Structure 1
């Protein structure tokens, strides 16, 4: 699976994350509101963001989301944890958008494009989201992702972090896409 494609939608260009995107993305990420519900709530701090950005570059799946008309960077997302076995699974996550674009349909438009690309290769897409990140949980449910019975436990700054695992299958996405186009 190509985890750094260039995808275009009506309003967006989704393309490979590159070093030159660092400052524009930090300008977005430096707003604490972006991370207020996230378990890693301090990514607005320069050093924490830089480590996060470096992980995105190293992952081989980091993406930048830009406005198609203006070229303005709106945020970032990532394909990660690709496993080609048993029909294939990939994770989509690490998404953040500038707050001025929240509630404007950017996230679902981006995620639908990423899902359509993923389902050309895999049968299942997973999302890991912090249990208290209700904004992201609601956004996932709005695009048809379903909370599984699986979860992961981690520690961050000495505190327990629970990540819930949401998923959507190729078949479920196909059904949702056909309903959306009607």
Structure 2
């Protein structure tokens, strides 16, 4: 079996992941246009339409991005993606995740990460996450699911300046 970066069957009791396509821009931007979602993010301006357009283009080009939807209502929740799959090292990154504030603190982020990790761990031994150095909310959330900070480095986002990020990892045997 081969790792597919954008599988079409990922769903649990709270969420479903639908491969992101170009027709999703306006609906996803309606979630992303909330300025408070981005307040701790390295790119605090991503709520602006032109800045989000650049993010969206990178998501489409990645061929690993998902539109996260409520499993029961189909309501848009946010987005996440698999990227930088390394077959030799048996690793992949999960990131570029954001969810609407309506879904914060309700188990949606944890359900999203679990769904993606359960799928990825069928093919890889290590999952990495890049999290902005000042994004305390995301750092705490990823630590709650068992990730460990292992490094810091500058990440160059698609069409944006590089920003300091922390690298977290979860090993298959520790999940």
* TM-score normalized by the length of structure 1: 0.89
Which residue matches 2:131?
A: 129
Task: Report the Cα distance in structure 2 between the residues aligned to 1:125 and 1:91, rounded to whole angstroms.
Answer: 6
Distance 2:59 2:156 in 1: 20
**Deviations, residues 124-172 of structure 1 (Å, cap 9, x unaligned):** 0000001110010011001111111x2212579x987310000001111
CA deviations 1:40-77 (Å, max 9, x no partner) are: 11101111100100100000100111111111111000
Aligned-residue CA RMSD in angstroms? 1.6
Alignment partner, residue 68 of structure 1 = 71
Q: Which residue of 2 aligns with 1:25?
A: 28
- Partners in 1 of 2:145 and 2:68 — Cα distance? 18
What TM-score do the two structures reach when normalised by structure 2? 0.92
Q: Which has the higher contact order (CA 8 A, sep 6+)?
A: 2
What is aligned with 1:177? Answer: none
Structure with the higher fraction of residues in helix conformation: 1
The residue number in structure 2 matching 1:58 is 61
State the Cα distance separating 1:19 from its structure 2 match: 1.4
Higher Cα Rg, which structure: 1
Q: 1:91 to 1:160 in 2, by over 3 A?
A: closer
Q: Which runs of 4+ in 1 moved over 6 A?
A: none
- Secondary structure (helix, strand or coil) at the match of 1:4 reads coil
1:7-64 Cα offsets, whole Å, 9 max, x none, are: 0101211121111211111011111101000011110111110010010000010011
Aligned length: 170
Equivalent residue of 1:7, what SS?
coil
Question: 1:8 aligns to what SS in structure 2?
Answer: coil
- Unaligned regions of 5+ residues in structure 2, if any? none
3-state secondary structure, aligned to 2:46: coil
What is the DSSP-based 3-state SS (H/G/I as helix, E as strand, rest coil) of the residue aligned with 2:117? helix
Q: Distance in 2 between matches of 1:167 and 1:71?
A: 30
- 2:83 is aligned with 1:80: yes
Unaligned runs of 5+ in 1: 174-182
Partner of 2:4: 2
Q: 1:46 to 1:3 in 2, by over 3 A?
A: same
Q: Distance in 2 between matches of 1:64 and 1:160?
A: 25
Q: Give the secondary structure class of the aligned counterpart of 1:171.
A: helix
What CA distance in whole angstroms lies between the structure 2 residues aligned with 1:92 and 1:34? 18
